[in-house]
């Protein structure tokens, strides 16, 4: 009977038969590569929108509804991408990023209107 081998490096495994990795290092390497692949499989637009969504979530999570331009740049919010846009009754452009609705300020900041 053949001994099972590590699915990352191919080393022969001993001990429990349900083991898939020879070490924590191999387990981490394997999972990291899987995660990187799933991230790189997303289109660039999806990645940007997810990053924007993460920034909005983080902002609200810290109890704020506004961010200035400097913070948006620091957090890599990309104002050129949104999931929808429309105008409010005053003619101002309102943007959506999935469930969030926000407005961009004249100074390049952002204000969340609805989460
Ligand atoms: Zn291994």
Q: What is the pLDDT of residues 73-89, one digit of tens each?
A: 999 999 999 999 999 99
pLDDT digits (tens, 9 = 90+) for 32-75: 888 777 766 778 898 899 999 999 999 999 999 999 999 999 99
Residue labelled with tokens 């699915």: 7
The CA 25 to ligand 1 mean position distance, Å, reads 7
Q: Residue 24 domain-assigned? A: no
Could you tell me the residue range of the domain that residue 85 belongs to? 44-114
The CA 39 to ligand 1 mean position distance, Å, reads 24
**Cα–Cα dist 113/115, whole Å:** 7
| pTM for the structure as a whole | 0.64
Q: What is the dihedral of CA 21, 23, 24, 26, to 10 degrees?
A: -60
Angle at 6 between CA 5 and CA 12, to 5 degrees: 40
Q: Residue 86 domain-assigned? A: yes
The CA 22 to ligand 1 mean position distance, Å, reads 4
Question: How many domains does the chain contain in total?
Answer: 1
What are the counts of helices (DSSP H) followed by strands (DSSP E) for the chain?
A: 3, 5
The CA 2 to ligand 1 mean position distance, Å, reads 17
The CA 33 to ligand 1 mean position distance, Å, reads 14
Q: Residue 104 domain-assigned? A: yes
pLDDT at 1: 56
The CA 14 to ligand 1 mean position distance, Å, reads 12
């Amino acid at each position: 009977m053949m001994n099972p081998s590590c699915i990352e490096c191919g080393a022969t495994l001993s001990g429990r038969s349900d083991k898939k990795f020879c070490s924590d290092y191999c387990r981490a390497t394997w999972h990291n590569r899987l995660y990187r692949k799933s991230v790189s499989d997303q289109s660039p637009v999806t990645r940007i929108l997810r990053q924007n969504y993460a920034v909005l979530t983080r902002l609200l999570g810290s109890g704020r509804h506004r961010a200035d331009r400097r913070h948006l740049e620091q957090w890599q919010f990309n104002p050129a991408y949104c999931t929808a846009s429309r105008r409010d009754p005053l003619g101002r452009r309102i943007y959506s990023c999935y469930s969030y609705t926000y407005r961009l300020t004249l100074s390049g900041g952002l204000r969340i209107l609805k989460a």
